[in-house]
Every structure is written in C-alpha cells, then in structure tokens.
Chain A
Amino acid sequence: MNLKQGIADISRALAKGEYSSVELTRAYLAQIEAQNAALNAYITVAPERALAQAEAADARRAKGETGPLLGVPLAHKDIFCTRGVRTSCASRMLDNFIAPYDATVVEKLDQAGMVTLGKTNMDEFAMGSSNESSWYGPVRNPWNHEMVPGGSSGGSAAAVAASLCPAATATDTGGSIRQPAAFCGLTGIKPTYGRISRWGMIAYASSLDQAGVLTRSAEDAALLLQAMAGFDPKDSTSADLPVPDYVAALAQPLKGLRIGLPKEHFATGLDAEVEQQIRAALAVFESLGATLVEVSLPNSHLSISAYYVIAPAEASANLSRYDGVRYGYRCDKPQDLEDLYKRSRSEGFGAEVKRRIMVGTYALSAGYYDAYYIKAQKVRRLVKEDFTRAFEQVDVIMGPTTPSTAFPLGSKSKDPVTMYLEDIYTIAVNLAGLPGMSIPAGFVKGLPVGLQIVGRDFDEARLLNVAHQFQLATDWHTRTPGTQA
C-alpha cells in the first residue's frame, strides 16, 4: 500500500480491490499517529468517524456502487464545520466548539463516499501566511522542519506533503491555498468566487473567501472539485451555473494556448533562483505548443493595501459573533456585560486576529470609511479591470506563486507587513474573484517552487487542463519529502 499515492491512483486501487477503504484508512491513521507530533499538521484526528465512513464506503462498494471518491480518505481544514467533530478554526475561541451541522463541502464529499481522517491546522481564523498564528502552535514544513509550510492552509498542505492524507480541503482568501501549495510542493486550486458553497465554512472575509483543495495532482483536484462545486441555495453568493466535466477537460492539448506573463510579477522582489525555475516551467509550456505573451496588471501593486482594508473590515464584523454569550470561549467569572465581552475576546483571540479586527474596525469608523473602505473598493474594481483587459489577449496568466520559497519559522512573524507581502502575487486574484492555481515547478535549495496559473471567471476546467498537461510532461508533482532534497 503506497500512502504517497494521490486520489486517482487510490481510486483505481480501491476499484481493483487491491485494498479496502478500511485498510487504507487504518494505514493513514497509523501514519498520522507516527508523524503528526513532529509536523503538527492535524488539530483533531477523528479515527472513529473515519473508520465508520470507511466501513460504509466498503459496504457501498460491495453492493456494486462505484465512484472516483468512494472510500478515499482526506482531511478537512479546521475551518469547515463537521457535525460532531470539533471545529476550532485554530482559535482558542472555538477550542470547545462542536458544530451540530456539516459544511456543504463536507456534506458533498461525505456523500461521494470520502473518509474524513481529521481536521487540519491553520492560521487562526485563516489570518496568516505561515501557519504560525494557530492557537495549537505552528505547523512544520515536511520538506524542512525549520521552515513554515505557508498559510493559512498550512496544516492541509503539510498533511498532504507528508502523506498523512492523500488530499485535503483548504480555503483561500488572499493566497491561503496557493502559497502553502507552493511551499509544500503541491497542486492547489482556489476556484472562482462563488464556485463552491461557503455554507458551514467559517467566515474570515466573506467577499474573498473561497474553498478549494490541496492535492498531489491536477487530476486529483479535478476529481474533488467535480464533487464540491455547484450552486447551494444556502449560500446566496454561490454561482447558479452548471459545473463542467473537469476530468474530461484534462486531456485537451495545449497547442495554441496563449499564456500571459504579467511583467509586474517578474520584477524586483522576485528571488532570482525562483525566477529561473519559473522560466524553465514556462519553456515546457512553449514546448507543448503554447505561446508566451507579456501582459500588464498595472494596479496589482495596490492589491495588498486594498486587501488589508477590505478583508479586516469584513472580518471585524464576521468575528463579532464570538462574544462569549452563546458558545465558544467565555472568560472566567465575568463581572458584567462589558467585562464578559472584553475578556472573552481578549483572551479568546490571538494577536493577529485582534490586529485585523482593530484595523477593520478603524477602516469602517465614521470619518475614515470613505478614505479606506470606499477607496479600497475602487482599487478592487481597477484590479479586476486589469485582469479583464489582460484576458482579452491571453487564455491564462502565469507567474511565480510567491517571490521566494518557504521561509524559516519565526523569521517574519514579528513583522506583520513583511508577512503580508508574502501574498503579493496571489492577493489580486482574490480581489478579482478569479480562479487561481499553484503547481509544483521545481526546487530551490531543496524547497519547492510554485507556478501560479490564473484563469477567467469560472474557467477552472481550463486551469486544471493546463496544469494536467504540464504534469504529464514533468515530474515535479510526484516528488515527496525525502526523495528530493
């Protein structure tokens, strides 16, 4: 049994009866037991639920049922509510929170027959780019334990990279899927805003949050997305559009594909060795028949500033519900209402969460609203227009996912602005609501490099296709820690 396999391979093995879902699940649980302490990738492991699901999947298969996800294990980022299993969002505030409902994403994957191994670590309330803001402690990068795995979906990325699960769900508000994918040598996709329901996914910044996956390959991502995507009447912002056949689209050849290279993403700040790897990957695309076109995203340098107004503003309201009244953390012996609020929130939230709540509260306050919030929304429109113009010339946009490879634990956590700059290439994509991907494209000093691919609205099929064709021509995505250093 090869735990380094991805979903597609596992699916074939299960279908052939090489092993059962229960056997596979036990093997992953054993792997987690053995290695999680060193990585801290999981916050909660759910062996009982996992084995019950695995047994059910095996029973379904015994009755003749088939399906690409039937009996396949995965892990959920601890931002997705899971009925009966703690959903903490990596916050002390929700350390005791057990949701009486499943997120739509969880429900859909459950129905497809998947097995939930547990809940993965993350930055608290998805606020961070290094997974160091978790109440449960930082996650280590499986490629080098001194390095961060990226964030906020660092636990999901580390778990997949270390083969503690074959795939994991994740969320991306400013780069939280793509940056950890890049740092951990994985395939990560953040679909178009509205493609996947946000119901049951704990909100950070509602207009930017989007669910996605971290996998070993584009094919795996296609299989998962197929089950996750689609309109949900419980999420008014989910798109009421048909879901194309992502797997069928993978095979399309890339001849004639026009790839846009934003000149702003190949400028000062980009690590030279990372650039080399990216240029080499682009050459592979050229060899597959694609053409490279320089494009410009002139307002993208404003993205981080705009993001750090809009996201905290929405977060400041989204996190108001954590008040110690109905559920979650409550301070000891509150003296009165104000004391209850003040201490519950001061003690229940970590520093980065409090920083963003305060920034957001400030940006929305009387007298500052126009200067910050309204202006940021204008920038957001300009950023979107940049992409719209670029997509008149090209089919996809490519560049580095991050300016450099994974950085050492603790090296940026004291300086929020340096940390925020980590997302310089990814954040504009969230502001524009577009689908974005990161795929493995080489190594620098033993650490993975990620190539970002951005597509038109709801063009996930194209992104997955482009990534898949690249993965047929390269083997970066098959490398695992230990095999390449």
Chain B
Amino acid sequence: MAWETVIGLEVHVQLSTKSKLFSGSSTRFGAEPNTQANIYDLALPGTLPVLNAEAVRMAVRFGLAIGAEIGKKSVFDRKNYFYPDLPKGYQTSQLSFPTVGKGSLTITLDDGTTKTIGVTRAHIEEDAGKSLHEEFPDATGIDLNRAGTPLLEIVSEPEIRSAKEAVAYLKKLHSLITYLGISDGDMSQGSMRCDANVSVRKVGDPNFGTRTEIKNINSFRFVEKAILVEAQRQIDLIEDGGKVIQETRLYDADKNETRSMRTKEVANDYRYFPEPDLLPVIIDDAFIEEVRSTLPELPDVKAQRFQSQYGLSAYDANVLAAERATADYFEEVVKGSGDAKLSANWVMVDLQAVLNKNELTIEQSPVSAAALAGLIRRIKDNTISSKIAKTVFEAMVAGEGDADAIIEAKGLKQVTDVGAIEKIIDTVLANNPAQVEQYRAGQEKVFTFFVGQVMKESKGKANPAQVNEILKSKLAGN
C-alpha cells in the first residue's frame, strides 16, 4: 500500500521593526559584530525589557490576514535554557497565550487546485544571537547583534501532505508577509526560517506516525528536498522493520541527507513561566479594527480582481498576484500600455525569463514597468510587430534605451505603406515564377513561403497582416 507524508511547518519570520523586540537597538542586518547590542541585549544586571509595540501590531496584521483569532490578552513567557548566544539564559516568547490564534491560509498547487492549511498559532518571540565557531581557533565568538530581534513563529497544523504542498505553503506565507510589509522574507539572510515536522503513514491510516523535526532549513528548494529525503528515509526504515525515533535532525544540502542532532537538545526542559518583567498585552477591538483598516489588498483578493477587472485566467491572475512587487509591476504596465493581456504575457514570459536568467528580483528588473508599457504601446499601435518587439526588448534589457529610441536607432519601424509593401511583393513574385505557378495550381501551402520571402526582404518590418492581404490579392491575379 502507498505511503503518505504528513508535514507540519514551524516558520520563524523576522519582523521588520526598526528596533529590537525589547530594546532600542537597531535590527539592521550585516553590521560589525556586537555593535547593535545594548545593555539589555547583553543581559547586564538590572536591565528590563520594554515591549516594541510595532512588533505586536505586525503580528496582529498577520493574524487578521489569515483570518485568525487575535489574543485579547497575550502573555510573554520565559523559556529557560543555557547557551552563550542567549545572554539572559532564557528566551522571552509566548507559550499559552499567543498574540495570534487559530487561522488558515489557502495554497494553490501546480495543477491549479487549491487547499486550505490550518495555522495553529503565531507567537511573538525574540531571536538569539549567533555563535561563530569557525573564525576563532580554540574559542567560540558570540555576536549579539541578532539577539532580541523580533520573530513571529507561525505554526501550521499537520495538514500538509507533500513536499510540494510544503513549498506552496511557504510561498504563500512569503507572499503574505511581504504583502503585509511585516518582513522582507529574505530566506538567505535568515528573515524566514523553517522547521519541518515530518512523519509517514500508510494511506488511509487514521493515526500519525512518529515524527522527526528538521531544523532551520533556509530555502524553498531545500525544504522540498529535505522533506523528500527525510520521508524516504523513514519509509525505508519502516519497510526494513525499523522504527522512527522522535528527534531533531539537520538537513545537509551538500549530501542531500538529514542527520540526527544530539538527542540532549530534545530532552531540554524549558521550564516556561510567565515573564514577570512584562505586563500582559491587552488588545481591544478598537485596535484590531484600526489595524484591519490599514491592511493592503491581499493576494487572494487581488487575484480575483485581476480575473474580473482584466479578464485574466485564474492561473495568470494567481501568478501575477502572488508577490506584491510583481502585482504592482504588472498593474503599472497595464496602466501605461492599456492592454492587460499583452501586459500579463510580457511580465510572465519575457520579463520573467530575463529575471530568472540573471537571478534578479522584479525590483531589480533592468526594464522598468513604464518602459515595458512603452514597448507594448508600440505593438498595439502597429509601430512594430510582436516579433520585432522581442528584438527591441532584448535591446532594452541590454540598456540601450527605451522602446522608441531603439526602434528609431535600429530602423525597426514597421512598414505599413501599401505602396512599399506592394513593391516588395512584386519583386518577390517576379523572382519566384515557379512557386507562383505551384500556388496557382492549387498548392496553397506555398503561400507561407511567399510571406517568409517578403518578411525577409523587408527585414521583418512589413506589417504581417497587410502582407497577407496584399499577397493573397496579387496571387489571385488582381
């Protein structure tokens, strides 16, 4: 019987507040070690936390975006464990009363079907610092710049059933948090980190198998690979008569395998208790409504609008609405060009290919939305053909200027003058009498040969529709 993978994800999202969760230190990434750690971050005696209200607001934004219950009274707790990059000896987190309760989000799979995944909770907590093991011989360096940075830990229900669904869930989360402006979602800088709880069971089995937790996976691709390889490891183990042990594992991307972490880590008793240095956070309806009123149009709603307003297919609308930057870019192109379908195609196909090839985000696009709209306008007003447009686009990518300048400089303007086209056609027909005979004898497929010759002769600039029309008329003997 077939196996089924059961996955629950815990995603740590770094909230993009200017200062830390409980201190005024900056959260900027990449500063010199320990230059962004003040006396609270260093846990000097007598220092006290002061909650960053912006972090709570961001958590509430997220909660509202996934239709979650918002904790009217959320409580911070101390999670106790010793580690050099945890200066206080405890992490301030939320255990029993998180700011965000049960909610859900809907993912779209590659085949276009959708699935709703439950979110158990999302709680606010502080990040730890970093231990630097490699830089110092016989010692460990500690960088506390990251210590105290606000995180939102988003915990899913174990309702994800494949590595692909897991990736779709993460992409949806990424889309939401960037739409909401609560995080840059940059996985390479650790702004979004994922722990995956993975177990396997026979299809139809109502009980869950024993799960393992894969810690700190830092890219979408690795999440997919780690889950696949871990699920297979568990299946092989069980089929060989073994048993899965509940443990924490690490994914090694180089070897594409998961490895057991020290089991000691798992046996930690964190001795949570309510943080006595902070008051409970009371969130009233007025605050919730105020936050709700500032929510942007979210991806699902936007995709719906793209379908109704622009007549896009559901697939195109979802792709374009998935990331806020892409959606904004697309809408600017539509605004400038006046043609939604052409805009959608250019953004999704031609522009995307360039971005993929050069590993750029749409914010880094070499062609601005206004410039792309300018190109599309020239297709629409028949200045250039779609085919020539690709040449112009390439030149735009290469930085040769805007569409009009390139068309002008390269002389790519489409020929629409009937006299000029007739002249070319006459020459082509005169030079190919045999083919003319064939056509007139009923071999109509020769027609494309003539079109090709005319386009070649015009260096691609002749208006294809006019060429067709005039050619047909001439071949008919008129």
Q: Residues on A close to B: CB < 8 A?
A: 80-81, 87, 89, 94, 97, 99-101, 103, 198-203, 205-207, 233-237, 313-314, 316-317, 319-321, 323, 325-327, 337, 341, 361, 364-366, 369, 373
Q: Which of A81, A89, A326, A369 has most chain B Cβ within 10 Å? A: A326
Task: Report if A327-B44 is in contact (Cβ < 8 Å); known contacts: A364-B80, A364-B271.
Answer: yes
Task: Report if A103-B46 is in contact (Cβ < 8 Å); known contacts: A207-B276, A321-B89, A369-B273.
Answer: yes
Contact B277 A97 (CB under 8 A): no
Complex A-B, nearest 8 residue pairs according to Cβ-Cβ distance, in ascending order:
A320-B89, A364-B271, A206-B276, A207-B276, A321-B43, A200-B46, A202-B45, A202-B46
Q: Quick one: CB contact mask for B274-301 with A, threshold 8 Å, 1 for yes?
A: 0011110000000000000000000000
Q: Which of A87, A321, A327 has most chain B Cβ within 10 Å? A: A321
| Number of residues on chain B facing chain A (CB within 8 A) | 29
For B87, what are the chain A residues with a Cβ–Cβ distance below 8 Å? 321, 325-326
| Additional A-B contact list (5), CB under 8 Å, known A198-B46, A316-B80, A341-B82 | A100-B44, A205-B276, A234-B48, A317-B271, A321-B89
Cα distance A103–B39 in the bound complex, in angstroms: 12
Contact A81 B278 (CB under 8 A): no
Chain A interface main SS type:
loop
Nearest B residue to A94, CB-CB: B45
8 A/B residue pairs, CB under 8 Å, sorted by A: A99-B44, A201-B46, A236-B50, A236-B51, A236-B279, A320-B89, A323-B82, A337-B84
What is the CB-to-nearest-CB distance from A310 to chain B, in angstroms, rounded to a whole number?
9
Contact A81 B45 (CB under 8 A): yes
For A94, what are the chain B residues with a Cβ–Cβ distance below 8 Å? 45
Cα distance A235–B47 in the bound complex, in angstroms: 9
Contact B89 A317 (CB under 8 A): yes
Cα distance A320–B90 in the bound complex, in angstroms: 7
For A313, what are the chain B residues with a Cβ–Cβ distance below 8 Å? 273
List B46-89 residues whose CB lies under 8 Å from chain A.
46-51, 78, 80, 82, 84, 87-89
What is the CB-to-nearest-CB distance from A302 to chain B, in angstroms, rounded to a whole number?
20
Counting CB contacts under 8 A, is B451 at the interface? no
Cα distance A101–B80 in the bound complex, in angstroms: 26
What is the CB-to-nearest-CB distance from A100 to chain B, in angstroms, rounded to a whole number?
7
Cα distance A319–B269 in the bound complex, in angstroms: 17
Nearest B residue to A207, CB-CB: B276
What is the CB-to-nearest-CB distance from B245 to chain A, in angstroms, rounded to a whole number?
20
For B45, what are the chain A residues with a Cβ–Cβ distance below 8 Å? 81, 87, 89, 94, 97, 99, 202-203, 321
Counting CB contacts under 8 A, is B142 at the interface? yes
List B255-284 residues whose CB lies under 8 Å from chain A.
269, 271-273, 276-279
Cα distance A337–B83 in the bound complex, in angstroms: 9
Cα distance A62–B197 in the bound complex, in angstroms: 72
Contact A236 B48 (CB under 8 A): yes
For A317, what are the chain B residues with a Cβ–Cβ distance below 8 Å? 78, 80, 88-90, 271, 273
For B82, what are the chain A residues with a Cβ–Cβ distance below 8 Å? 320, 323, 341
What is the CB-to-nearest-CB distance from B266 to chain A, in angstroms, rounded to a whole number?
13
Nearest B residue to A235, CB-CB: B48
For B80, what are the chain A residues with a Cβ–Cβ distance below 8 Å? 316-317, 320, 364
Cα distance A206–B88 in the bound complex, in angstroms: 14
For B43, what are the chain A residues with a Cβ–Cβ distance below 8 Å? 321, 326
Cα distance A97–B43 in the bound complex, in angstroms: 13
